[in-house]
Amino acid sequence: MGEIQDQLFILVGALACLNYLLKCVKFCKYFLLRLWNPLPKSFFRSMGEWAVITGAGDGIGKAYSYELAKRGLNIVMISRTLEKLQAVAKGIEETTGSHVKIIQADFTKDDIYENIKENLQGLEIGILVNNVGMLHNYIPFHFLSAPEEVQNLIHCNISSVVKMTRLILRDMEIRRKGLVLNISSGAGRFPWPLYSIYSSTKAFVCTFSKALQVEYKEKGIVIQVVTPYFISTQMTKHINPNIVMKTADEFVKESLDSVAVGAETCGCLAHEILAHLIDLVPSWILYSDAFQNFILTHYAYDQNKIPESKK
């Protein structure tokens, strides 16, 4: 009996070491690929003539629109606020010379996709960035205390990814090339209590994306899920950027250079390191009552430090 236990402990230890080694290899792969095997400048334009970006009027979506236009693509911007789309489209056309097409759509609704499909007819779409998303409780809450507008969140964070991918992936399959970037969140890499619904919707995006990559990799299509942690946008109340809190422009430039890394990336080196460190923390610490209470207390303290005019 003792010999069996010893063998079992050895097996568990070996598996733990192997798991850690694989994580180290993934991290090194991210670092080495960007240094020694960078993507050619022509890569993005070689996918097709047009890039489609959802949630393109602000933040990360706006940054993807500008950056992909700079890399030679024409842009289809889809978002809810027409005035923002028009202003960003004008700026892109004036600074890059790319053509921009705008489609007004509210992704919290479920009846918008036929109109989007009609507006995309005839375009050679090489890149899709499923970026649109919403966080319905910026303040951490227990599930029953959070706002009740759950369906809007599901439409925006889940249905949009599935339906936009279905609209565009078929033509990519026919042409045997294309790039789909699904913007998830670090909150989707493991359960985040106090943001349970948001975390769960982003976990869906991770699982869906990685499953699709297996299905379509052999057909020449790259499908990657991007799981950033902290980006200074309207969703995060434009918190001042720092070594971890990236601006949208900084993050997007780095994330596009990470396309060759694999099916999942945090998008930038700082967030890859952060994710690696978080993975080392035992889950019982993250999910303890003491840690959850700390988050609630710390957030309340930070809110009290913000002047009323900025809340």
Residue 280: per-residue pLDDT = 87
Residue 3: per-residue pLDDT = 62
Query: Roughly how many angstroms between the first and final C-alpha of the chain, as a whole number?
Result: 63
Grouping H, G, I as helix, E, B as strand and the rest as coil, residue 112 is coil
DSSP strand E in 61-104: where? 74-79, 100-104
Amino acid at 206: C
Residue 136: per-residue pLDDT = 78
Residue 306: per-residue pLDDT = 38
Is there a catalytic annotation at residue 64? no
Residue 30: per-residue pLDDT = 58
Residue 83: per-residue pLDDT = 95
Residue 172's CB is within 10 A of a number of other CB atoms, namely 26
Q: Which of 205, 56, 195, 57 is nearest to 135 (CA)?
A: 195
In angstroms, the CA 78 to CA 65 distance is 10
From 66, 198, 216, 229, the catalytic residue? 198
Considering the entire predicted model, what is its pTM? 0.86
CATH numbers and ranges of domains, the chain: 48-280 (3.40.50.720)
In angstroms, the CA 92 to CA 257 distance is 21
pLDDT digits over 231-287, tens only? 987 776 667 778 888 999 999 999 999 898 889 999 998 999 899 889 888 889 889
3-class secondary structure per residue, 172-203? HHHHCCEEEEEECCHHHCCCCCCCHHHHHHHH
Tokens of 287: 């999910």
Whole-Å CA distances, 253 to 57, 59, 63, 182:
17, 13, 8, 16
Residue 4: per-residue pLDDT = 63
Can you list the residues of the chain whose pLDDT is less than 50?
Answer: 301, 303-311
Determine what percent of the chain falls in helix, strand and coil, rounding each to the nearest 5. 60, 15, 30
Residue 47: per-residue pLDDT = 97
